[in-house]
Amino acid sequence: MGNWAVVAQYYSDMYRTEFICRGLETKDQALKALRTAIHTYVPSKHIVEKRRHVYRFADQETYLVVIKGKLSEWECTLRIAELVADSTDPAVAKPAQMDDGAAEVTDGPQDRIPPGY
């Protein structure tokens, strides 16, 4: 199973994060899936799309999608995310943190199981 995912984040009565796809093996696969999703993703809120504007952020890995419907306008952020910790599989964190000469395993916040669980 891969460690990359494409997620949509938006506000609809409350802040939400939705996985568009996950389990992608490489960052390049995730970027390809992201670039497909910016043109095809439709919100679970049933909007009859009249127009779609797509804005790319400077990091080249995040997009703002604005969909104009008949009566309303809806916006969301689409981006890629890497799974760097999994409490059911602690081995996930090590490759993600050591990838490309990144931070040492002891640097930065660590996923841990709180006492009593």
The pLDDT tens digits of the residues spanning 16-64 come to: 999 999 999 999 999 999 999 999 998 776 788 899 999 999 988 999 9
Q: How far apart are CA 63 and CA 76, in angstroms?
A: 8
pLDDT average, residue stretch 97-112: 54
In 5-110, which residue ranges form alpha helices assigned H by DSSP?
27-40, 93-98
| Residue 26 and residue 58 in one domain | yes
More confident position, 48 or 6: 6
In this prediction, residue 97 carries a pLDDT of 58
| Residue 77 and residue 100 in one domain | no
pLDDT in tens, 53-103: 999 999 889 999 999 988 888 899 999 999 988 878 777 766 655 555 444
| Residue 52 and residue 16 in one domain | yes
- What is the pTM for the complete model shown? 0.72
Q: Domain limits at 112?
A: 85-117
- Is there a contact between 90 and 105 (Cβ–Cβ < 8 Å)? no
Q: Is the pLDDT of residue 106 over 60?
A: no
pLDDT band at 109 (very low <50, low <70, confident <90, very high): low
| Residue 39 and residue 58 in one domain | yes
| Residue 8 and residue 30 in one domain | yes
Q: Is the pLDDT of residue 104 over 50?
A: no
Number of domains in the chain: 2
| Residue 70 and residue 106 in one domain | no
- CB-based burial label for 64 (10 Å; 0-12, 13-18, 19+): middle
